[in-house]
Chain A
Amino acid sequence: MNSGDDPYQSWLKNRRNIEISSDFSREVMARISELQSRDMAPPKRDLLHGFLEWISRHPTVQTVILAVGLLLGLARLLISSHIVLSF
């Protein structure tokens, strides 16, 4: 049975066959321009936000930063304890 004779297939075909107004995307873009003119557009990513977003997607970098932070903290602790001991 080909799809032209199969009532179920012809029903699916009819359901799929919808027209979208040719202005649809233009209307969406017009509404976006309107939003922008009202200053409601999404804020551009600033440098810090972009960096944080990037970091959040890279767990290895997070680990490295954490490790460096810990090492620096430890170094600072050692230096201060050395100063105390030298007194």
Chain B
Amino acid sequence: MNLAAQDIRHNLGRFTLTALGIGLLLMIVLGMGGIYRGMIEDALVVVDHIGTDLWVVQRGTRGPFAEISRVPANLEHRLRAVPGVASARPFVAHTIQREHRGRPLRITVQGLAWPEDKGEWIQLLAGRRLAQAHYEMIADASLGLGLGEVLRLGKDNYTVVGLTRGMVGSGGDGLAFFTVPDAQAIQFDLPGEATRLERAARRHRAQMQDLGRAQPGLLDRGAGPVSGIPALGPPLVSAVLVALAPGADAGEVVRTLDAWADVSVHSRSDQRDLLVRGLIDKARRQIGLFTVLLVIISTIIMALIIYTLTLDKVHDIALLKLMGARNRMIVGLILQQALLLGAVGYGIAYQLGSWIFPRFPRRVLITGDDLATLAIVVAAISLLASLLGIAKALRVEPNQVLA
């Protein structure tokens, strides 16, 4: 006869409610791990799928995912001349926030080198890829935009021609893919008056210098930050993506590019490491600590629950001891209940999580490894939590039946 099962059957309502509480706690533990996994997945979605071997970025920077990187678009032509480089294409990445339908809309803008890159590597939920050089976009479903919807960004309207799912940036904002010129236009858009004022200021500064008087035509482009007026400065991109030729020595290409004074080069694995160890490291540690706290809290709560359940059974335990029950039967009663509580809580956590996590604004990714780890943690928690109850049960004297 299994005493633990009989007791649970007798107190099914209370056991169910307790297991539900434990399950909710474990669901949060599971969710924290899932949020961490989701962050990594989100951060790496572009790096892993865009199909490039090397990222060539502004000298001294870690690339567009870590910080602002600006390189001239014509860098791609220089790169194509490097032995071992099969192709080079510009890439733009930045985040914007606009009002749309009365709510803030944050978009991580990705500029693709159309027509070489029409977004073939992007898994579409609906619609199609970019079919023209301007005014089209592929948007992630998390942005809440519909297929065919028109969004005004800067001075232009962009039509959503394709939808993706689960493609968000490391900040959690949905990705939207444009052509590079469109992404630049969105990034460097300035009101007309601002352009006119800046142009006037440049002219004034240029006229005050000898170079301006000697070569007035150059001054418009040479004075001031070139990024301020795209019409006047050379276009800038965030990075240039390099694909190596088959059989090319990646190390040799990297060494060549490292010798250039204006750029830094990172391999795909470098970018991954930078993202994982740099951009999301603090978030990872924060989530990790929070998860540890949750596990500790879960253990304490479970221990208290098991202890309370044991207290409720002190008289029955005393009676069992009076009848000569061995300690292993008493310990088994408590331990089995603790493990069953943990197992049912785990099941509830999994079921509830499977239903709730997809509704979270950010990706919560639960892997098989995480589930297995949590199962081990829950078993450990259950064992640990039952110790208090077991200690109490072993101290119960048979003469307490007479109390």
B is bound to A: no
Please give the residue numbers on chain A whose beta carbons come within 8 Å of chain B beta carbons, in ascending order: none
